[in-house]
Structure 1
Amino acid sequence: MADRARAVGTAGLRALGLAAVSLAGSLTLFVASVLSIVFVPLGVGIVTTPLVLAAVRAFADWRRIVAAEWGGVRIPPTYRPLPPDAGSWRRTLILLGDRAVWRDLGWLPVDMTAGFVTTLLPAALLLYPLEGFALAAGVWRVVTDGTHIGYWYAFVPISGQGTALAAAALGAVLLVAAWFLIPLLLHAHFRLTRAVLGPDRGELAERVRVLTETRRDAVDTSAAELRRIERDLHDGAQARLVAMGMDLGTVEALMDRDPRRARQLLAQARQNSADALVELRDLVRGIHPPVLAERGLGDAVRALALRLPVDSEVTVDLGGRPDAPVESAAYFAISEVLTNAVKHAEAERVWIDLHHADGMLRAAVTDNGRGGAVIGAGSGLAGVERRLGTFDGVLAVSSPAGGPTMVTMEIPCALS
């Protein structure tokens, strides 16, 4: 009973928050989008449209995550990837040619009308009965003088204690209705969101194309990573090992003729071997950290946080381990986000939340830095998004100017 009451209350408060966001956020973004697109022929929109549509996408992605976490409703994204070197004009053309973007824009007016109503109803069912109880407790004396009907509670005219008790009875009925209807109404809101934001058949074909491109990006990234490893081995550890071999050969020749010089070369060879070992360890850590392979994602993220030059707080709730490729992608995505928080956001503290629920691995990284982070071409977040896209994952960024910044990552997977 207590758990049910807590769930109903939480759903009602969530609905109230979503009602405010649906009206204010969707209205603001819709107006900004329309104005920006209208001004594209004048040239101004070429600069503003990618920024505005990126904000719309971030807002829609956040609502997808909310729908999954609060309602268990999955809404897969089907956006076309943006080339990292695309300029403003090309980015604008790609975005305006993306059906998923237009679907987002069509969802905004639905969200601020029907979406607002479907979230306001659960909130009203939770809060409106309180007014009826307050009237019965004596507030009716404040709103009416007892001789004329000057206040209505729903369809009950309040004129005295008797009608105030009737209002309380109606409030009790509404509260009983709320007990059963609030979770259903909130779920209906998320289903409405999926009906508008979710892909149709054409977009499912587009989704296949997007996944093909992300897989190709993953292959290209892997090839670049192999070239980097080959270069690092050639210029680092291999060079040191060759130098060490040459030093040992010289030592062999000088052992009898110049023992002092031989000892110096032996010390140099020993230092080269130690440096090569450090470089190999760093290289291995960059490919697949040993703590990730041995202890799993949770401990690997904790170890990552311990190496940060700022205060950190890590919360992990994982009942098992995801597949190794997913685990590695999540680790390096979190690592990149933490690097951004320290280097670019100038944060003094970060919070990392890692958990698995409803078939989704979710990681949220929050910092108290200066904010202003965007998923732009060439940015670290764009690389994170491409990395997650390989596994059908999504990235959402909330980063107002002045902070705080919250980066949420979500990857569908099962735990072992």
Structure 2
Amino acid sequence: MASDSRPERRDRLEHDRNHLIPSALRTPFERRTWREFGYHMLSLPISTILFVFAITTVSLGAGLLVTFVGIPVLAAALAGCRSFGALERARARVLLRHDVERPEPVRPRTNGVMSWIGAILKSGTSWRSLLYAVLHFPWAVISFSILLTLWSVGWSLLSYPLWQWVFPTYGDAPGIQLYGDGSGSQARTLYLDTPLEIAMASATGFVLVLVTAWMIRGFSYVDRVMVSGLLGPSSLATRVVELESDRGVVVDTAAADLRRIERDLHDGAQARLVALAMDLGLAKEKLLEDPDAAAVMVGEAHGEVKIALQELRDLARGIHPAVLTDRGLDAALSSVASRCTVPVTVTVDLHERPAAAIEGIAYFTVSELLQNVSKHAQARRASVDVWVSQGRLMLQVTDDGRGGVDLSSGSGLAGLAERLDAVDGILAIDSPLGGPTTVTAELPWRH
């Protein structure tokens, strides 16, 4: 994962825009170019050591596989390649500014040397580190040879006017000899010694330096790809980590919902039903002594029953509304919109219904966004649009309120974004100060 963030890129683009010298001409003189050049110069000695170690130890281990000794030797070779991989990731982080996450560690099932050896041999990271050791050596030879030659020649020619005096002073020659076909009176030679020739040599050096600087950038890109692809975590391991994180979010969300339901039942319907039972008990006692008072108490209890039923309906709607199950998103979102404090226009363009779980998440996402509109937006109107794009369910809630909404505004959007991310969803917010605010959610369809 690269360490360059969006704000940093924006700042760099703004710096380039305000700089008097174009970026293409500044490249040879920037610290980044020299850092990356240093990376390639170090690559050859390091890759040579790594290549020799990998080939020697793996060949030795493979040759000894006929005996028991070959297996631990091969495991030690792979462990050494993994250690070199950590060094290469650190070198890429410092010189290429390319931050690659650590791959998954070796996880032996039990304690002991044999379990560790088995885990090393089964680890895909170990074999990818070995592959890096083998492939990076020829690439390091190529990049070292080409870049060192072109870089040194380019800077030598560019600075030629500064050191051309060395030839007539110490070398018995007027300048760099470009051509010579013999000796004696018939000899023909060509030196770079006139002012025009010196200027042309310097100009050629400048062009060569510019070209080489961009070649350094291109070669560094190849190294970034190799380090990320062979020394970083595998896509499968990354996906497993993401799923573990998403599972934790889902579990926490489910636990929070259960606590909310329990609290609503305890503080609402349960308390009301307990009071209702007490009132009916008192009415039963007064039924013979004072029928009129008992009738009044029964009437009050009847009102309490209606209130308790409404609370239970609201609670059931908060768990999963019946209208969503029976009639789908269009009717369910229209019902939610009718309870909003501002007029809401709902447009649903779906050719079929998505998976029930995704449909429920879409419903509660729109519900929470409309609650934010009612509580915080100070809007006069809002709209809800639902459609399908490239096999993804798209939700968009727009209002003409005051704007300035972000994930840290305390409006519950951060938790909503986490819940969407747990199902591979995305939440995007566009809310400049003064409005309008547009919140777009993207969810998988999942039949």
When the two chains are superposed, the root-mean-square deviation of aligned CA atoms in Å is 3.0
CA distance in 1, matches of 2:288, 2:347: 62
Matches within 5 A, 1:342-353: 342-353=374-385
**Is 1:310–2:342 an aligned residue pair?**
yes
Matches within 5 A, 1:316-331: 316-331=348-363
What is the aligned counterpart of 2:233 among 192, 198, 202? Answer: 202
Larger Rg: 2
* Superposed displacement of residue 345, structure 1: 2.0
* Superposed displacement of residue 296, structure 1: 0.8
Matches within 5 A, 1:341-380: 341-376=373-408, 378-380=410-412
Change (3 A) 1:378 1:345: closer
Matches within 5 A, 1:260-275: 260-275=292-307
Change (3 A) 1:332 1:274: same
CA distance in 1, matches of 2:289, 2:303: 23
CA distance in 2, matches of 1:233, 1:262: 28
Change (3 A) 1:27 1:330: closer
CA distance in 2, matches of 1:248, 1:392: 51
Residue 332 (structure 1) aligns with: 364
Provide Cα deviations, 1:85-143, integer angstroms capped at 9, x if missing partner: xxxxxxxxxxx99979xxxxxxxxxxxxxxxxxxxxxxxxxxxxxxxxxxxxxxxxxxx
**Is 1:30–2:40 an aligned residue pair?**
no
Q: Is the partner of 1:235 in helix, strand or coil? A: helix
* Superposed displacement of residue 388, structure 1: 0.8
* Superposed displacement of residue 31, structure 1: 3.0
Aligned-pair identity in percent equals 48
CA distance in 1, matches of 2:350, 2:442: 14
Residue 82 (structure 2) aligns with: none
Q: Which amino acid aligns with 1:367?
A: D
* Superposed displacement of residue 33, structure 1: 7.5
* Superposed displacement of residue 379, structure 1: 3.9
Gaps (5+ residues) in structure 1?
Answer: 1-25, 37-95, 101-195
* Superposed displacement of residue 254, structure 1: 1.4
* Superposed displacement of residue 369, structure 1: 1.4
CA distance in 2, matches of 1:276, 1:98: 58
CA distance in 2, matches of 1:405, 1:368: 6
Change (3 A) 1:27 1:249: closer
**Is 1:238–2:217 an aligned residue pair?**
no
Q: Is the partner of 2:406 in helix, strand or coil? A: coil
CA distance in 2, matches of 1:299, 1:202: 45
Change (3 A) 1:220 1:28: closer
CA distance in 1, matches of 2:437, 2:242: 28
Change (3 A) 1:99 1:327: farther
Q: Which amino acid aligns with 1:239?
A: A
Q: Which amino acid aligns with 1:310?
A: V
TM-score normalised to structure 1 length: 0.51
Q: Which amino acid aligns with 2:238?
A: E
* Superposed displacement of residue 238, structure 1: 1.6
Change (3 A) 1:27 1:352: same
* Superposed displacement of residue 372, structure 1: 1.2
TM-score normalised to structure 2 length: 0.48
Change (3 A) 1:340 1:252: closer
Change (3 A) 1:340 1:203: farther
Q: Is the partner of 2:288 in helix, strand or coil? A: coil
Is residue 333–residue 387 contact of structure 1 (8 Å, CA) maintained in 2?
A: no
Change (3 A) 1:349 1:35: same
Residue 146 (structure 1) aligns with: none
* Superposed displacement of residue 358, structure 1: 1.9
What is the aligned counterpart of 2:426 among 383, 394, 400? Answer: 394
* Superposed displacement of residue 243, structure 1: 1.9
Is residue 315–residue 352 contact of structure 1 (8 Å, CA) maintained in 2?
A: yes
Q: Which has the higher contact order (CA 8 A, sep 6+)?
A: 1
Matches within 5 A, 1:140-155: none
* Superposed displacement of residue 393, structure 1: 0.5
Q: Which amino acid aligns with 1:362?
A: M
**Is 1:301–2:280 an aligned residue pair?**
no
**Is 1:405–2:437 an aligned residue pair?**
yes
Residue 285 (structure 1) aligns with: 317
Change (3 A) 1:373 1:98: farther
Matches within 5 A, 1:84-123: none
Change (3 A) 1:35 1:248: same
335-344 vs 273-282, which moves further = 335-344
